[in-house]
Structure 1
Amino acid sequence: MALGILEPRTDSRLPGTELLVDDDQYEREGAQGRLKHGKGKKTDIILIPQPSDDPNDPLLWPTWKRESAFFFIFLNCIVFAACPGPMIAPATVALASQLHVPIKHVAQLSGYQLLIVGALGPLVSVFAQKYGKRPQFLVASVFGVIGTGICVASFSEASLKTSYRVLLAGRMIQGIGTTAYESLSVAAIGDMFFLHERGLRTALLVLTLASMSSFIAVVAGKLFEDLGARMLFVVLLPIQAVAAVGVVLFVPEMQFRREETGSDNITVDVAAEEKNASEKHEGVTDSQATTPRYANSTTTSTARGTDPTKRRRTFLQDLRVSSGTYSQDSTFKLLGSIFIHFLNPAVLWIQIVSAVLVSFFVGTAYTLAQTFTPPPYRLTVSQNGYFFSGALIGGVIGIISGPLCDFIARRLARRNKGIFEAEFRIPICVVAVVVFGVGWFVFGWALDEGKKAAGERVIGPGQIVVVCSVCYGCVCFATSVASTGAGLYVLDAFPNHATEIFILQMMIKNFLFYAFSSFINDFAAEKGPAHMARVFGIATLAGFTTCVPMYVFGKINRAAVSRWRWMRSFRS
């Protein structure tokens, strides 16, 4: 048992169990001498995954190339995935009045957009597996720009009824532009960066996809009030155009056929290595010691069959739309392999602690303008936008979840004799549980105060708004922490299936977004926003109880998944 994690009965190598930190106590010179390590202060960190000898391996790209690709993926996550949805959230009531439609219909302008994102997710995954991620990013950028252009044009229609319909069409096309960035971006980190480099970058993408909406809402509220709804999309359009050009020039294909390097997966059996070290201390030579039976990392320069003569692709070659076909499997076979992952308990856990929690956060956003525009708060559109400042600050602070998750994993790996387990990504959820509890339940208390008569309130309406904004920020921070931990767990525990699992997460999340848009405004009006906050809080804390069995039995589950023959048949 490794720090409370139950061990499976298997001698096979498990993804997510890696020799991460050199431990002199066990003197694994034989294993360490064949493995590449980090540089500078990270020389004790073994690179996971081990890079090939091919200069076109994304893990071996020059630093500027990897970082520029990540920057534009990060930027496009903001302008194509994070911006469109919350742009109209602060103006829900005002826009409903302007277009002469019920508040629910304005919420559905975002709901139908997110429905498109969820529905197209599996297809984007299939095309990414077959043809690479770059074509998906390029297509998404084009549709995102077109969708925003249609939204701009909608406000020039002759009738308000037609304006709403054209605006809805533009929002749905924007959804096509969102899908690839929301579903493939985190998986792209696993293509370009080593395990110990993923924490901060994953946190930044989680911040973008889950929390940057708060910043957008702050800006959009003021912009709507001063310049009108049309200018929201007019301002966004040129930014999206520049971001799309950045993808064309600086985001090459990061999918890589590692099997073409010819490297053998020579791995290190930890128990065998410890036995070797013990025999060495007892006078047994290395040649007499037991030969390692399986390993946790691949060899590099000593691997057989590599071709060091391969040349790095030029900048012009990287501009190709497609680099060929990466899978010979049929579209239906690849599509089926996505939904099979629902049989993996870890995937169901990820939906609970990530997709569902983000849907609570976003679902609440649909009701904020409805809650704080009427008395006793009487917030204007711009003030409704400023309310999201709490969530913005919470999301920015949430960036620390990435480095914190890496720090916890390294510390636990050192205590575990240098061996990293993917389940070491789960303990950070303790932080999320505490902050979620504070956020949701204090939020509910403050809203209850708002329903009381003026003389009975402990705090005034203005103070209630501030408290609620801070609580919403706590929810945003905790959402970032939980989503970062879950995302890193997927990358570490199921690296070969990360894209499909992220697709399922994105699909469920966006279907929930759509579902909330269809009923949450009526629910908040009937039961009250305080009741809604308490329901979300109770459901959140109940969901996090699944972290305990996930940590204890996670490795056994990984072993079971690796033995699923029907899963391998889909992948073969």
Structure 2
Amino acid sequence: MALGIIEPKTSAQLPGTEHLVDTAQTSGEHQYEHAHFKHGKGKVGSRVIRWVQLIDNLFQKQDIVLVPQPSVDPNDPLLWPVWKREVAFAVLFFNSIIFAACPGPMIAPATVALATQLEVPVKKVAQLSGYQLLIVGALGPIVSVLAEKYGKRPQFLLASLFGALGTGICMAGFDQSSLPKSYTVLLAGRMIQGLGTTAYESLAVAAIGDMFFLHQRGIRTSLLVLTTACLASFVAICAGHIFEVRGARNLFVILLPLQLFGFVCSFLFIPETQFRRNERQGSVVTEQDGITVDEKAEASTHSVTQESAVSTAKSTTPKRTFAQDLRLTSGVYNHDSILKLLGRIFVHLLNPAIVWITLVAAILISFFVGTAYTLAQIFSPPPYLLTVSQNGYFFTGALLGGILGVISGPLCDFSAKTLSRRNRGVFEAEFRIPVNILAVTMLSIGWFTFMWALERPLLKGGVYLCSFCYGAVCFGTSVAGTSTGLYILDAFRPYATEIFILQMMIKNFLFYAFSTFINEFAAEHGPANMCKVWGIITVCGFVTCLPMYILGKVNRSWVHRMYVKYLGDK
């Protein structure tokens, strides 16, 4: 029983259980077994990316075993030069902002004002975002299948293209001859924008797993989670002021050139990250003399001379050139039919871990986003009387909460390494779960204090307190999203793309559902009651973290057998 985690009745090594840290016990008992594994370096690499390396090495020493172990293929994304991996991640991060984070909250502060301008009910304006997210959720499985079959690069390129096209259509919506036609064109543009959101919202985290080792994923995953929370709030702050000063059309005028720039960058700097490797090779005892791993890939080969060392291996695969990386597709990665690949996505609904991440991640984010639909409705009328710009500034709390939430990535990595050392160097995927204690604490403070403040609308400084509470919710949501995302990457790495797509689909269906009733719910029952309901459901949802931690490894054992039976072992 490893630190409270119940061991399954199987001798097979499970995905998500890895030797991560060399300890004194390891050196004494398994010295020769792990000596040949490639380890992380404890020093800072290139000066150009010094800041990234400093973060990676903050809690890192040379006793960190690289998981997964890199292959001998020079085209393995784990062996790309550091600059190439970091530039690809930077473009993914930037595009996740402009294609996934920007479109939704752009009109959130102006919900009431835009409804007046278009002469439609407030609910209709909320549905401009709701239908967009419905498209994102509905297309999720299709994007997953295409990524599984043809790779992630084509999906990122198509998403960038459709995102820019949708923004152009939204611009045209404000030039129509009648208000009903303006709303229709605007709705069409928002739905096409949704085509540009799907890939970046669902495949970006999986791409991190393709390019980076287990101990490097935390900070980068938290940065991507940042785009849906913190940076979406920053967009709302800017959008409120721009709407009031320049009008709604200019929101899209400003966004379009950024998206065109993102499309060019994705074409030039996001190569195909899909790579077929032996997912268990990090636990297999092999010796590969003569393999040199670029220092910039942060791997070092530890040679051993004992007779148990296995045969040597060298790669004969030529390294792809920059021009070859620009190909739209790198071939077919899976020869199964599209219908079969589509059907297997929903097999993951039988995995209890998926139910768990839905409770502590998808539903929490839907509460956060759903509440954003109502903020202008709450604070525009008396006694608050906030303008469109002031409604945008309200999101400052969420912005700060999201920025602070970035610490969840290094915190997840630190706790994983610390618990692994206490577990004699063995990492369990469940070591990602304990940080949710911080998440549920901040979420409880946020929702219940928000409720208290809204019950006292004449409270001096009430708007500032409410903004702080919304920031606490954003922080807790960021921590929970990072923790669950890393858990999926660690425990179910071969199926991460499909699982993230499924989670994204559920989350966006919830977003759409909220857009159909949340405004009426807040008006009828009061915004304070809404926050109380969200707080109670949140606390109840996080109770599931305890059985998930204790029984998570048993669940992984059962799920692994199920996946072997129904999906085929990857």
Identify the residue that residue 526 of structure 1 maps to in structure 2: 524
Of the three residues 315, 332, 341, the one matched with 1:334 is 341
C-alpha displacement at 1:34, in angstroms? 1.8
Within-5 A mapping of 1:207-356:
207-258=226-277, 266-267=284-285, 306-356=313-363
Identify the residue that residue 446 of structure 2 maps to in structure 1: 439
TM-score normalised by L of structure 1: 0.91
Q: Which amino acid aligns with 2:157?
A: L
Q: 1:309 to 1:570 in 2, by over 3 A?
A: closer
Identify the residue that residue 507 of structure 1 maps to in structure 2: 505
Identify the residue that residue 109 of structure 1 maps to in structure 2: 128
d(CA) in 2 for partners of 1:322 and 1:535? 47
Segments of 5+ residues of structure 2 without an aligned counterpart are 44-60, 287-305
C-alpha displacement at 1:568, in angstroms? 4.5
C-alpha displacement at 1:303, in angstroms? 6.2
Of the three residues 81, 87, 91, the one matched with 1:62 is 81
Give secondary structure in 1 for the equivalent of 2:18.
strand
C-alpha displacement at 1:258, in angstroms? 2.1
- For the 8 Å contact 1:263–1:303, the answer to whether it is kept is no
Identify the residue that residue 552 of structure 2 maps to in structure 1: 554
d(CA) in 2 for partners of 1:526 and 1:316? 59
Identify the residue that residue 6 of structure 1 maps to in structure 2: 6
Structure number, greater radius of gyration: 1
d(CA) in 1 for partners of 2:282 and 2:9? 24
Identify the residue that residue 364 of structure 2 maps to in structure 1: 357
Q: 1:409 to 1:49 in 2, by over 3 A?
A: same
d(CA) in 1 for partners of 2:450 and 2:325? 50
Within-5 A mapping of 1:389-468:
389-450=396-457, 457=458, 459-460=459-460, 463-468=461-466
Identify the residue that residue 46 of structure 2 maps to in structure 1: none
Give secondary structure in 2 for the equivalent of 1:3.
coil
1:52 has 2:59 as partner? no
Deviation per residue, 1:477-535 (Å, 9 max, x gap)? 00000000000000000001111110111000000000000000000000000000000
C-alpha displacement at 1:210, in angstroms? 2.9
Q: Which amino acid aligns with 2:275?
A: F
Q: Which amino acid aligns with 2:339?
A: F
C-alpha displacement at 1:32, in angstroms? 2.0
C-alpha displacement at 1:30, in angstroms? 1.1
Q: Which amino acid aligns with 1:366?
A: Y
d(CA) in 2 for partners of 1:267 and 1:13? 13
- For the 8 Å contact 1:334–1:570, the answer to whether it is kept is no
Q: Which amino acid aligns with 1:227?
A: R
1:33 has 2:35 as partner? yes
- For the 8 Å contact 1:141–1:244, the answer to whether it is kept is yes
Q: Which amino acid aligns with 2:496?
A: A
Q: 1:264 to 1:443 in 2, by over 3 A?
A: closer
C-alpha displacement at 1:256, in angstroms? 0.7
TM-score normalised by L of structure 2: 0.91
d(CA) in 1 for partners of 2:395 and 2:194? 23
Segments of 5+ residues of structure 1 without an aligned counterpart are 269-285, 292-298, 451-456
- For the 8 Å contact 1:439–1:474, the answer to whether it is kept is yes
- For the 8 Å contact 1:333–1:570, the answer to whether it is kept is no
Q: 1:571 to 1:127 in 2, by over 3 A?
A: farther
Q: 1:514 to 1:262 in 2, by over 3 A?
A: closer
C-alpha displacement at 1:40, in angstroms? 2.1
1:383 has 2:385 as partner? no
Q: Which amino acid aligns with 1:398?
A: G
Identify the residue that residue 96 of structure 1 maps to in structure 2: 115
d(CA) in 1 for partners of 2:400 and 2:477? 13
d(CA) in 1 for partners of 2:487 and 2:285? 21
d(CA) in 1 for partners of 2:339 and 2:378? 45
C-alpha displacement at 1:20, in angstroms? 0.4
C-alpha displacement at 1:267, in angstroms? 4.9
Identify the residue that residue 467 of structure 2 maps to in structure 1: 469
C-alpha displacement at 1:43, in angstroms? 1.2
Identify the residue that residue 20 of structure 2 maps to in structure 1: 20
Q: 1:518 to 1:258 in 2, by over 3 A?
A: same
d(CA) in 1 for partners of 2:464 and 2:164? 36
Deviation per residue, 1:530-562 (Å, 9 max, x gap)? 000000000000000000000000000001111
Identify the residue that residue 274 of structure 1 maps to in structure 2: none
Identity of aligned residues (%): 64
Q: Which amino acid aligns with 1:309?
A: T
d(CA) in 1 for partners of 2:159 and 2:485? 22
Q: 1:317 to 1:70 in 2, by over 3 A?
A: same
Give secondary structure in 2 for the equivalent of 1:157.
coil
1:139 has 2:139 as partner? no
d(CA) in 2 for partners of 1:56 and 1:70? 17
Q: 1:511 to 1:565 in 2, by over 3 A?
A: closer
Deviation per residue, 1:450-495 (Å, 9 max, x gap)? 1xxxxxx5x32xx110000000000000000000000000000000
C-alpha displacement at 1:120, in angstroms? 0.1
Give secondary structure in 2 for the equivalent of 1:420.
strand
C-alpha displacement at 1:312, in angstroms? 1.3
Alpha-carbon RMSD:
1.7
- For the 8 Å contact 2:68–2:282, the answer to whether it is kept is no
Within-5 A mapping of 1:65-214:
65-214=84-233
- For the 8 Å contact 2:230–2:400, the answer to whether it is kept is no
Q: Which amino acid aligns with 1:16?
A: G
- Number of equivalenced pairs: 532
Deviation per residue, 1:248-299 (Å, 9 max, x gap)? 000000001225x99796259xxxxxxxxxxxxxxxxx88xxx9xxxxxxx9
C-alpha displacement at 1:113, in angstroms? 0.1
